[in-house]
Structure 1
Amino acid sequence: MNKKEILLTVLSVSVLSACASRNHEPPTRAERLSSIKAQYETVAEERKGAATVAYGWTRFTASGKTEMPAKHLRIIHPSHSTQVVALKTLGLLLGGSYQGSDKKDLKGDSLPNVPNRSLSAAYRPVRDYVLGKYGGEDGAAYFPLYVGGRHWFLVYEKFADGRGGKYELVSEIEFVKPNEIYGTFNYVCKQGGVAKTLNEWEADNYRLAHETAARYAKQCADALLADTVKMRQLHHSFERE
């Protein structure tokens, strides 16, 4: 290798090293804020002083399509499990492998005419706490705390079809706050346990489903505010750089 070739090699390595270095630089504050905002469809937010609290639907991207499974009520029937088992059995016969899945992981049928109105019940207590504690501080705005709806669905209790069978209402909510210094505070709360027949859930425009979901959401907020370990982590997320 002559001197010219050596010089070109050294320059190439230097350029590649510089590019690699830039690629590994931590994201800027604006980039982090943009990234966390992109994960939600915000319904409402409030700001007081340096603190902001918002709530909305957590986005899930499957096959390039954005989905928000908590925005409307979903119903998982026994037939949905039957379809999955049939497809997996076919795959097994064709030489694939069988992997079981929980019925609660199924997508089910979405009911666009039954919107989820429960998130505000989880948002209000946390909003009041955060704005009351950090809203009076000066300086740059903190990263927002998000209350995000992840899942809201009815799932059959036993593998027996028919409207006489009971369905459990399940709700999942997350509380997310990017840290001012590093990392992200995250608290996921999943509630369930109330089971009724479809006729009972559907009565009066799903009134019982809305009331139960609101109670679940309030329980999630109360559980977070009463959890000393998680609250300590939440306080750390408000530490300044």
Structure 2
Amino acid sequence: MSRKFLSLQNIEKRFEIPSKDDYIAVTDVNLDIRENEIVSIIGHSGCGKSTLLNMISGLDMQSNGVILLENKHIEGPGPERAVVFQNHSLLPWLSVYDNIALAVKKVMPSLSKSEVKARVEKFIKMVNLDAAKDKKPDEISGGMKQRVGIARALSIEPKVLLMDEPFGALDSLTRANLQEHLMRIQESVKNTVIIITHDIDEAVLLSDRVIMMTNGPSATVGEILEVNLERPRDRVSLQSDPEYIRCREAILEFLYKKFAKEDE
């Protein structure tokens, strides 16, 4: 079993609201994540999934509790954690190659020009974008843009890859293709991946564990599901796999019976 190396301890996040009580987004979150593990966080809208991701990334700070990566406090953003957002966030005036090279040069300033080139081309190849490396973002599809975002994040060799609904805006076929890319890449680079998702099938297909959040406000970890499926995984054969079916039904049970979202 891989060792745990990312730990969330008694995490709470409050937002101050003028002339009102504080809004408590998440509370009493305790979670240990292992090295080289793929974890999905799933729950209804407003359950604090993205809030947790932002605190792990260091883009926002918790109100109470501590987050440790390899026993060191997370106190802000750092190159050991990279984020892939639902919006690819590419610079439109730069090519695919230059968008990735910019990140590499920023995080690894000691690399020579040839070393930067080798690193950028390695990750462009990893996401199968060799033919598009000189194109600008408006010349490629949405799925290709997300692949650039993944390549850019991986190019700085993060220990933790954080993904906030990275495939949510894509059509189902493109989404499936990128899921396959992600599983293949993670098998190669062996880093920890944390994915925010609303998609039950995506969570089971990709994950070693699924973290199920209770409803907000004051959301917390409700249940943690172990997904005991060997890798590599094939989405077609899994459809009739008893473990896949068990996991899918467990998440459905949690989300739509134990914590069904109330009508607004």
- Structure with higher Rg: it is 1
Q: Which has the higher strand share?
A: 1
| Structure with more relative contact order (C-alpha pairs < 8 Å, separation 6 or more) | 2
